[in-house]
Structure 1
Amino acid sequence: MKELEEIRKEIDRVDKNITELFEERMKLVIKVAEYKKENNVPIIDSKREKNVIEKNIKYLKDDRYSEVLEEFYINLMELSKKLEKKQIYSKKNENLSTSIYGLIGGKLGHSYSPYIHKLIMEKVSLNGIYNLFELPEKKVKGALETFKIINCGGLNVTIPYKVDVMKNLNEISDEAKKIGAVNTIKFSQNGMSGFNTDYIGFGKMLKKFKIEIKDKVCVVLGSGGVAKAVVQYLKDNFAGKIYIVSRNVQRASKDYDECIISYQELLKINGDVIVNCTPVGMSPEIDTSPVSKEVVSKFSSALDLIYNPIETLFLKYAKDSGIKAVNGLYMLVSQAVASQEIWNDISISEDIANEIYDKLEGKIKS
């Protein structure tokens, strides 16, 4: 018993030292917050956090504690960010305003974007709200000007305005120019800039699920706006052969340099990756698939950019055929994360994207 008491006394001594060092660290955190407040620097810095964890793990003399130390620093930095946020967004800060973000489109219906962006902003300590703005075509230009006047935090763009909004923008990113479509708008002193985060999200999805496309035969179902982003990513990352399948081959041939084939011609193709960029199979029409099980079985990976339902009939065909099946949920989350990075000039860790993905998957399944 006496030995236990001695050990506890040693723990008390160490705890006292930890508390003193904690207080010293928090004072430094407040100084960092004051600098960020004065210089308009975002609270989150995922790269810095990762470096801090890796650096301090190396200081350990006993590797058995590395996992616990990592968890300790993750929690410590969460507390630090909470204190920074309190310091920056205190009631004394009369200049604090809530940034407005949103999605503009023709018919938005039920969208998970507000839920996703809410989670992102909570994770990276951003003060903002994300709304849906359903607009008729004749009001899009005026709405963009209004968003610019009110200093909007940023906008996402969906069907049918991904192409039309480009004529109202001051700058367009290289990938958006090549794709010929914009789904993200950033507002700044220079005006409005357009980006395509579908391109980024598709790439993140391939990476997460370990789908190789270099030198592979890839088939893209559909020829609309999101298909353009997918095709451009495949081209930029050295896909071997790309086939675009369209119900209107002649019309699609005007938009693409790649090989355009009909759904009948697809029956002759054996490939590696098939990507569904059409809305066929989306809820509530869940008993349909853009292609037959016979077609799907000729590939090694099947990707469906639909995320509701989680498993479309197209993906069920893939699973039944014993091939890799991936839905579009991670792409949805990743393009939203990329949008926030663009709007706020920050870097967001993949851990945050993975956590939001898991939460959203559970929400949709429930």
Structure 2
Amino acid sequence: MKKLYAVIGNPIAHSMSPLMHNDLFQHYGIDAYYHAFAITKEQLADAIKGFRAMNISGFNVTVPHKVAIIPLLDDIDLLARSIGAVNTVVNENGRLVGYNTDGSGYVQGLLTELSNLKNKKVLVIGAGGAARAIYFTLAYEGVTHIDLTNRTIAKAESLVKECPYEVQSNVLELKEAEEQLEHYDIIIQTTSIGMSPHTECKVLSLHNLKESAFVSDIVYNPLETLLLRQAREKGARTQNGIQMFVHQGALAFEKWTNVMPDSNRMTTKVLKQLGGTKC
């Protein structure tokens, strides 16, 4: 009997997860199908009851359900619990168990370009759900110095206070971060600023960016945001959000099937759909 996997969110029509996962099921000869379900906040509890009734094999969770899903599950992985958000659910013998592969997927994507993270000084821009997953996971992986900057300082301060892992962190005003940018080896942009159609929106000035820095933006539409373009023009190495998207999906696929998929195949599939080549 064909297994069912899914992604739930609202909106969800734009999701490329069905394209990516259905291609993998076919490639690896797995009798399964992955479908996108548009689920509102009001429908979430009933949707999970329906998934249980169907004995769904697993599903991804995206905005706005990553936090609200937690009390509806049977168990939560330790890292997902500390992050306070779930993006992947596995049916483990009838029990729905939540995981968070966003941060781990981001780190794996980063390691395709950088061999060492632990001795790097990192600046994270933003304090939302993606920033939280990335910040906590980097700290969990042993990165020792991670500063945060955000328009709302209190939100960034909350992340620092709530992080359960040992890490040295300062919270900076955006202007402060701009002035100190030369001190950072890795700059990570985690907000939606610069995403299509608002592609000319500016996060912060890169005037003090050092040439040896690595600049990462989790946005992948457009493939090269204004921030990445300006960083590239200053000689810095850059990476868009494709690798995070691909690797978080790969980790979810492995949890569901015990098969670690070919991330290069996944990247090619997504880039072809987006009509570009830049990562």
TM, length-normalised to structure 1: 0.69
Overall identity of the aligned pairs, in %: 28
How big is the shift at 1:277? 0.6
1:348 aligns with 2:260: yes
104 and 301 in structure 1: CA distance in 2 versus 1, 3 angstrom threshold? same
How big is the shift at 1:260? 2.3
Tell me the C-alpha RMSD between the 2 structures.
1.8
1:320 aligns with 2:224: no
189 and 238 in structure 1: CA distance in 2 versus 1, 3 angstrom threshold? closer
Which residue, out of 257, 268, 276, partners 1:358?
268
Higher relative helix content: 1
In the comparison of the two structures, how many residue pairs are matched? 267
Q: Distance in 1 between matches of 2:28 and 2:117?
A: 32
Q: Distance in 2 between matches of 1:138 and 1:359?
A: 33
1:218 aligns with 2:122: yes
Superposed CA deviations along residues 315-342 of structure 1, whole A, max 9, x for unmatched, are 1011101011001112111111111111
Superposed CA deviations along residues 41-73 of structure 1, whole A, max 9, x for unmatched, are xxxxxxxxxxxxxxxxxxxxxxxxxxxxxxxxx
1:135 aligns with 2:36: no
Q: Distance in 2 between matches of 1:221 and 1:170?
A: 33
252 and 217 in structure 1: CA distance in 2 versus 1, 3 angstrom threshold? same
Contact 1:307 1:328 in 2 (8 A): yes
Q: Distance in 2 between matches of 1:316 and 1:204?
A: 23
Which residue matches 2:18? Answer: 114
1:173 aligns with 2:77: yes
Q: Distance in 2 between matches of 1:274 and 1:211?
A: 16
Misfit runs of 4+, over 3 Å: 295-299
Q: Distance in 1 between matches of 2:125 and 2:87?
A: 20
Which residue matches 1:31? Answer: none
Higher relative strand content: 2
How big is the shift at 1:347? 2.8
Contact 2:89 2:96 in 1 (8 A): yes
166 and 204 in structure 1: CA distance in 2 versus 1, 3 angstrom threshold? same
Which residue matches 1:277? Answer: 190
Q: Distance in 2 between matches of 1:102 and 1:284?
A: 27
Contact 2:13 2:36 in 1 (8 A): no
| 244-253 vs 175-184, which moves further | 244-253
Q: Between the two structures, name the one with larger relative contact order (CA 8 Å, sep ≥ 6).
A: 2
Larger Rg: 1
Which residue, out of 292, 303, 307, partners 2:205?
292
Q: Distance in 1 between matches of 2:209 and 2:275?
A: 24
1:261 aligns with 2:172: yes
How big is the shift at 1:109? 4.1
Instruction: Trace 1:163-242 onto structure 2 (pairs within 5 A).
Output: 163-210=67-114, 212-242=116-146
How big is the shift at 1:203? 1.9
User: What one-letter code is carried by the residue in structure 2 that aligns with 1:163?
Assistant: V
How big is the shift at 1:177? 1.4
How big is the shift at 1:188? 2.9
How big is the shift at 1:298? 7.0
Contact 1:153 1:187 in 2 (8 A): yes
Q: Distance in 1 between matches of 2:114 and 2:156?
A: 30
How big is the shift at 1:295? 5.0
Which residue matches 2:248? Answer: 335
299 and 183 in structure 1: CA distance in 2 versus 1, 3 angstrom threshold? farther
User: What one-letter code is carried by the residue in structure 1 that aligns with 2:265?
Assistant: E
| 261-270 vs 147-156, which moves further | 261-270
Contact 1:273 1:299 in 2 (8 A): no
Q: Distance in 1 between matches of 2:211 and 2:204?
A: 12
Q: Distance in 2 between matches of 1:205 and 1:263?
A: 26
Q: Distance in 2 between matches of 1:226 and 1:196?
A: 11
Superposed CA deviations along residues 257-282 of structure 1, whole A, max 9, x for unmatched, are 34322212212322110001101111
Q: Distance in 1 between matches of 2:259 and 2:21?
A: 15
356 and 247 in structure 1: CA distance in 2 versus 1, 3 angstrom threshold? same
| 122-131 vs 168-177, which moves further | 122-131
Which residue matches 1:247? Answer: 151
**Unaligned ranges ≥5, structure 1:** 1-96
